[in-house]
Structures are given as C-alpha cells and as structure tokens.
Amino acid sequence: MPRKFTPKVVTANALLEGDVVYLAEDDSWIRDLKRAEVITDEAVAQIRLIDASSRQSEVVGVYLADVVETEHGPEPTHFREDFRRTGPSNHFHGKQAAEV
C-alpha cells in the first residue's frame, strides 16, 4: 500500500546568500517557515516542486520537506529541518539572529 502523503513545504537555499528559503503561496521565496505554503496534496506538491526547481537563478537544491501543521503554522518533523530554520547551536547566527 502506498504510504499516506504527509504535509510538505518546498524549501531550498538562496543562490546569492546561501541561506534557507521556503516557497510561499504567492510564489515568492521567504525566510520564515511559519509563512511557507503547506502542501497537503501529493500531485500539487510535485507540480510546485518542478516549478520551483526551474527557478535556478534564485535558488539551489530545491526539495520537499515534511512539516506538521500547528496553530503557530508549519513545524518541522525532523531535527535537520529544525536546525535549518533556526541556525547553528554554537553561535547565535543564521535565522535565529535575524528574528531579533
């Protein structure tokens, strides 16, 4: 039996800055996971992934990452994605510093 599709966001790294970006519903690349478009349909996810992957002058390494939907917006299900949306744990750099 095929595995049940779980909610996803489209994510990548920005070409110029190299930092983590997410795809928003309006097709813009945003820095904050909370505002990312959560995709719940597998066919839609594939189309969004293909379209996003073609935007080579903006981003690198596009893929779908698992999330769970919460009242605070999407949250990562895996610790790797949690680190990507936060920054390193040894220096207060990356996304966590940008939020202040």
Contacts with another protein, residue ranges (CB under 8 A): 13, 15-20, 56-57, 60-61, 77-80, 83-84, 87-91, 93-95
Q: In angstroms, give the least distance from the CB of 96 to another protein.
A: 10
How far is the C-alpha of 51 from the C-alpha of 39, rounded, in Å? 14
In the complex, least distance from residue 43 CB atom to another protein, rounded to whole angstroms: 26
CB of 85 to another protein, least distance (A): 10
- CB nearer to another protein: give 44 or 54: 54
**Side-by-side strand order, sheet with 73-76:** 29-30, 20-23, 8-14, 59-70, 73-76
Pairing relationship of beta strands 29-30 and 59-70 according to DSSP bridges: unpaired
